[in-house]
């Protein structure tokens, strides 16, 4: 029905990587009070919500995606009182707040795992996936960790292997245990009760809810050795769905957390997932009674996409989800090179066209059906750091494959706010957790706010215009993709308006026409 969409079905969501956003206490690390300080900048851009990457208590082996306590704040980032102040300030600015929950795994320093690993008969003994070795002492399956090496590690105290799809210090929770699922529901209630508006659910496809015996992954017979390190890893030589990943039993979790969300008003659940067939996985996760939407990876190709590739990526998703808000599109995030860098390279454009391209990409993704996630700095057309010295690298994935692969640090360098301030206004510390990219100083955030022709101001004006377009805001329906080799054309359609959207990758201009 016209004008009956929930807030999240058309939301533009601004992703904040807290470690790199704003440092308030000059220790070189971004924090929650720093985010609060800059909420006006985000609200003035015209987005609807913020998503904050993990800030929970954590040893920071994977920078917050290894949670040691889901109900407390890592001291580097502040306190629960600091979070409450952030939440109140955001709501006063009409910004929704989403937090990043990690349901599949936790830190090996979490009290649950500390207890579980001690013996086979303690109260948390079956909260993780513990499996006896094969007769020859080998792990129970051929599963591999995304970060390199086997997905099983040996625990001498139990004389068993435990599962971890990522680092060995990130053991997978056993979602076949109803007590584990209920513990995660209590985490959801804790944050909803504080006033949080939704969750981005990290790597939900890596939740493991099956029980032994586990099936081996099959060989990926279509594997082609690629130039990028993640396409060279043994991990990608396997097919994973229904064995290691995207297990059907995961949906017990999806249904349980949806029931919790539905017991409140206006709460949003967005699941990050991938798989051998990500569209099919998204359909499963957003079936009735499960998650509201999934975070779509179609536009996040590591090496960038040419115009035909962009058309295919959008078409593949929209053909299945047209008429719904069950997708959230993104061009950049904390795990891939920034869009301005990889799309310039893929399209063969020079840096003199960087701002025009970035604005075009922002307009394109914000005109697609569903919600949109914008990574901090995209509104400034920031490029990826061109290098991180090996001795300053922080990302465990990058460190594992250095120097061939720089990992994810290059898109995580700190935001800069004023070109003439110490460390670009991010911090007054002599050293920041990752080095400031000096090229970013020419696009410092508050300087760009003051420059009328900046990408920030152009995108802000576009978002204000977008909110007045019924075709973009009252229904999630669009036509198929058309256009020549250098353009993308589609109609957004509602009962009150049909809007022709044309994105020209020759001129790098978007045009809109009512039809």
Active-site residue list: 202, 272
DSSP class of residue 170?
Answer: S
Structure tokens that stand for 20 in this block? 């790199």
Query: How far from 322 is each of 2, 211, 301, 384, 500, CA to CA, in Å?
Result: 16, 36, 22, 33, 16
How many C-beta atoms lie closer than 10 Å to residue 352's C-beta? 7
295, 273 in Cβ contact below 8 A? yes
385 secondary structure, DSSP code = P
For CA atoms 440, 445, 449, 450, give the dihedral sign.
negative
CA distance 248 to 438: 47
> What DSSP letter does each residue of 61-107 carry, written as one string?
TTTTSS-SEEEEE-TTT--HHHHHHHHHHHHHTT-EEEEEE--SB--
Whole-number Å distance between alpha carbons of 168 and 145: 9
Length of the chain: 515
Written as one string, the DSSP assignment of 195-262 is T--EEEETTGGG-B---SSPPPPEE-TT----SSGGGTSGGGGEE-BTTTBS-GGGHHHHHHHHHHHH
Report the distance separating Cα 383 and Cα 443, nearest Å.
Answer: 10
How far apart CA 90 and CA 331 sit, in angstroms, is 24
- Rounded CA separation 308/312 (Å): 6
- Residue 311: its H or E element: helix 307-321
- In the chain, % helix, strand, coil (3-state, to 5) comes to 35, 15, 50
Query: How many CB atoms lie under 10 A from the CB of residue 168?
Result: 17
Q: Are 397 and 388 in contact (CB under 8 A)?
A: no
């Amino acid at each position: 029905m016209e004008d009956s969409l929930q807030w999240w079905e058309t939301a533009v969501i601004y992703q904040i990587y807290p470690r790199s956003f704003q440092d308030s206490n000059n220790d070189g690390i971004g924090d929650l009070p720093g985010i609060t300080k800059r909420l006006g900048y985000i609200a003035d851009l015209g987005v609807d919500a913020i998503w904050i990457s993990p800030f929970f208590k954590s040893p920071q082996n994977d920078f917050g995606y290894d949670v040691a306590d889901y109900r407390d704040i890592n001291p580097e980032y502040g306190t629960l009182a600091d979070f409450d102040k952030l939440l109140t300030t955001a709501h006063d600015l009409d910004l929704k707040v989403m937090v990043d929950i990690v349901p599949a795994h936790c830190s090996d320093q979490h009290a649950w795992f500390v207890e579980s690993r001690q013996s086979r008969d303690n109260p948390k003994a079956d909260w993780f996936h513990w499996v006896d070795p094969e007769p020859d002492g080998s792990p129970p399956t051929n599963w591999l960790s995304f970060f390199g090496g086997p997905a099983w590690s040996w625990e001498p105290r139990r004389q068993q292997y435990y599962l971890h799809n990522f680092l060995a210090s990130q053991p997978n929770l056993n979602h076949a245990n109803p007590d584990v699922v209920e513990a995660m529901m209590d985490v959801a209630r804790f944050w909803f009760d504080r006033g949080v508006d939704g969750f981005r659910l990290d790597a939900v496809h890596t939740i493991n809810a099956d029980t032994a015996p586990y099936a081996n992954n099959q060989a990926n017979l279509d594997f082609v050795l690629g130039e990028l390190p993640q396409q060279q890893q043994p991990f990608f030589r396997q097919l994973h769905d229904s064995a290691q990943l995207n297990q059907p039993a995961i949906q017990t979790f999806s249904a349980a957390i949806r029931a919790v969300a539905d017991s409140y008003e206006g709460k949003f659940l967005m699941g990050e997932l991938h798989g051998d067939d990500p569209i099919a996985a998204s359909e499963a996760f957003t079936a009735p009674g499960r998650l509201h939407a999934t975070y779509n990876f179609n536009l996040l190709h590591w090496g960038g996409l040419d115009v035909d590739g962009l058309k295919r990526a959008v078409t593949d998703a929209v053909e299945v989800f047209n008429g719904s808000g069950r997708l959230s599109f993104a061009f950049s995030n904390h795990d891939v090179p920034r869009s301005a860098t990889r799309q310039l390279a893929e399209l063969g454009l020079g840096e003199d066209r960087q701002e025009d391209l970035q604005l075009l990409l922002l307009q394109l993704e914000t005109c697609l059906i569903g919600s949109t996630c914008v990574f901090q700095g995209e509104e400034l057309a920031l490029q990826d750091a061109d290098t991180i010295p090996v001795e300053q690298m922080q990302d465990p994935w990058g460190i594992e494959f250095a120097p061939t692969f720089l990992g994810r640090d290059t898109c995580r360098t700190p935001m800069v706010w004023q070109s003439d301030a110490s460390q670009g206004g991010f911090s007054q510390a002599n050293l920041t957790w990752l080095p400031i990219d000096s090229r970013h100083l020419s696009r410092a955030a508050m300087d760009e706010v003051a420059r009328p022709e900046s990408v920030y101001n152009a995108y802000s004006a576009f978002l204000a215009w977008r909110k007045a377009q019924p075709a973009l805001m009252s229904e999630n329906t669009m036509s198929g993709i058309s256009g020549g080799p250098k353009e993308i054309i589609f109609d957004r359609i509602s009962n009150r308006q049909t809007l022709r959207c044309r994105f020209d990758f020759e001129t790098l201009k978007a045009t809109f026409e009512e039809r």
